[in-house]
Amino acid sequence: MKSYWILLALMFTVHAVCPAQEHPVGVTATNNKSSEPHSSWFIGTNPIAFLAAFQWEDNVKRYMPEVAGLEYGFSLTGGYFRSPKQMLETRFAAGNIHQIARVVQWHLGMNYFPLKKNHRWFDDFYLGGFFKFWDYTNRYTKIHFYNIAPYLTLGYLFDSKTIFIDVRLNQTVAVYSWSSLEHSSAGMDWFFSPWPKFLPVMPSLTFSLAWRF
C-alpha cells in the first residue's frame, strides 16, 4: 500500500512539472485546413453579357457578342471544383439580341487544369469541353429556332480564396439546329466562325466574376 501512494505522488509531480501539450496531429490538421479553399462550390456572372443586351451603334453591336461569349442579358454561372484538376460548370443566360429576337441559353461542361497539383486555390491555366443549348425566338412571330453546339474552352482562372476572375476563349466546332416553323427540318454542320469569309476560325471571349462559398 505504501508503494502505491509513493507511485501516485510521483505521477502527480511529473504531471505538474510537465503539463500536457496539444496533440501535434491537431496542429497539423489546423494548418492544413487554413491552406485549403473555403469551399469547392462557386456562383458568378458574366458582366459583359449584361452590356451586350443594350442597344449600341452598329459597329459596336456587331462585335459585342464576341467579347461577351455570345451571351446576352442576365447571366449566371455556377459549379463545383471536383478535384484539383477538374471544375464542373453550368451557365445560363437570357436576354434580347435586338428588338426582334430573344435568346435563352444553357451550358454544361467541364474544365481541366493540366498543371494543377494540389488544392491550394485554382489560380492556373485550364482547357475544357462544353455543350450549349440555346433558343433563338422571334418575339413577333413566336417562331423558335433551337440549337445545340459543342465547344472547346481555353482559359486562365485568377483565384483569391473567395473571389476569382475567369477569362477564357470559346471555340464552337459544330451546330445542330431545328425550328418550330412548320414543314422545316433539322440540320447539322460544322461551325467555327460567325463570319467564315472574314475569319474561318473565330473564338469568342468570356469574362466571368465568381464567388466561392
Q: Tens digit of pLDDT for each residue in 41-75? A: 999 999 999 988 887 777 777 788 899 999 999 99
Residue 29 lies in a domain: no
Phi, psi of 92 (to 5 degrees): -140, 140
Domain-embedded: residue 197: yes
Query: When comparing pLDDT for 128 and 124, which is higher?
Result: 128
CA gap 162, 37 in Å, rounded: 8
**Domain containing 194: what range?**
41-212
Confirm whether 178 is domain-assigned. yes
Is residue 200 included in any domain, yes or no? yes
CATH code where residue 200 lies: 2.40.160
* Grid cell for residue 68: 461577351
Length of the chain: 213
CB 113 within 8 A of CB 84: yes
168 occurs within a structural domain: yes
Task: Kindly compute the dihedral angle of the four CA atoms of residues 98, 208, 210, 86, in this order, to the nearest 10 degrees.
Answer: 120
Question: Domain for residue 173, yes or no?
Answer: yes
- Is residue 80 assigned to a domain? yes
pTM: 0.79
Mean pLDDT of the chain: 83
Up-side HSE of residue 90: CA atoms within 13 Å toward CB? 6
Phi/psi of residue 45, each to 5°?
-150, 165
Domain tally, the chain: 1
Largest Cα–Cα separation, the chain: 106
Q: Are strands 124-138 and 144-160 parallel, antiparallel or unpaired?
A: antiparallel
Phi-psi region of 174 (alpha: psi -120 to 50; beta: other; left: phi over 0): beta
Amino acid at 96: N
196 pLDDT more than 50: yes
Question: Is residue 1 assigned to a domain?
Answer: no
The mean pLDDT of 161-189, rounded to a whole number, is: 95
pLDDT in tens, 9-38: 444 443 443 444 444 444 444 444 445 554
